[in-house]
Structure 1
């Protein structure tokens, strides 16, 4: 029996390593297959209708709850010869908040009770803003974008793991377009939102999809 267990454990370990290697090879193959030579340097602006930020937070430790912000507007200054010279400046309207629960949306955007601070954003929330301070290329189609995120009146540094997701001519507008996918996480308490901690999680995962069109 002990030999059988050892054999099963060894087989599982080999399978796990094999799966990880296969995923890494697949990612490398995708990078190699994506021909980025058609992308040109210059100024780009977001396509607000197709730029979204998903947030996800643990709800009482039972499951994750998530919502979206949209209509983000901003610019990308892209230097294809030296990505470190590139920069991003994007504003995300908090009032674009989309969740499936009308009650939760009302709670997140309502004023505080009896003159107190709001539990979350409040009714007159300023746009969130991300301004890059450094871009570090990590692969043929990947980069770490470091910058200042201003949210709820407070500013903290974050690092976005970004990956080129597509490029070409928009079939509707014919605009030269580049698309990116990015991920990062923040602690909401760093931005003054301590409501229901720790029952509702502090760490908020952000999943970003953005399309930039050439000006």
Structure 2
């Protein structure tokens, strides 16, 4: 199950109507960074996600779903632990989702559901670009950033050894439908 909605919304387009886009997962990424023991930062990503978005100049919407079992930190033992009930508990919570409620051209606000808990999260969004692709389609790309506290979502294992604050970055390229 894959749907992603986190950061595909901030385009100063000359189009006066909302356009629908499907996330191109091959050219998109959902990443995170979290502190370890106060001495380093561990980076990771989710490899399976999907989503869609609409937007016009200063409004739009996003829906996004991530398969939590696809967590990847380039270390299999750590990834196995992240999938366990100590962290993501992927058997009980196989997806995390985001559904936007507002977008003003720079801030994307919506509900993030992680570990069975839904909280409002605000992403800072930057439009990277838009234009025709070589295959006759039209694409738009964005980067969105937010910091959440994992404890707000009931994930409290080993705080402060693994920091509470988690930085999320979503790189989205969408294909207009």
The TM-score bracket by the shorter chain reads 0.7 to 0.9
Partner SS state of residue 104, structure 2: strand
Partner SS state of residue 66, structure 1: strand
CA contact (8 A) 2:16 2:56 kept: no
Length-normalised TM-score, structure 2: 0.86
Name which of 94, 100, 104 aligns with 2:68.
94
Name which of 158, 168, 171 aligns with 2:131.
168
Consecutive unaligned residues of structure 2, counting only runs of 5 or more, are 1-10
CA-CA distance at 1:41 after TM superposition = 3.3
Question: In 1, Cα distance between the equivalents of 2:97 and 2:90?
Answer: 18
Deviation digits for residues 103-139 of structure 1, max 9, x if unmatched? 00111113xxxxxxx10112423211111111113xx
CA-CA distance at 1:212 after TM superposition = 1.1
Consecutive unaligned residues of structure 1, counting only runs of 5 or more, are 1-33, 111-117, 138-142
| Structure 2 residue 112 is matched with structure 1 residue 146 | no
Aligned length: 166
| Partner in structure 1 of residue 159 of structure 2 | 197
Name which of 185, 208, 211 aligns with 2:147.
185
CA-CA distance at 1:183 after TM superposition = 0.7
Deviation digits for residues 157-214 of structure 1, max 9, x if unmatched? 110000110111233x432110001111000011111000112100001111001111
Compared CA separation, residues 63 and 72, structure 1 to 2 (3 A): same
Name which of 110, 115, 128 aligns with 2:96.
128
| Partner in structure 2 of residue 119 of structure 1 | 86
| Partner in structure 1 of residue 24 of structure 2 | 47
Length-normalised TM-score, structure 1: 0.72
| Partner in structure 1 of residue 6 of structure 2 | none
Question: Higher RCO, 1 or 2 (CA under 8 Å, sep at least 6)?
Answer: 2
Stretch deviating more after TM superposition (205-214 or 122-131): 122-131
CA-CA distance at 1:45 after TM superposition = 1.0
More strand by share: 2
Partner SS state of residue 120, structure 1: coil
More helix by share: 1
CA contact (8 A) 2:68 2:90 kept: no
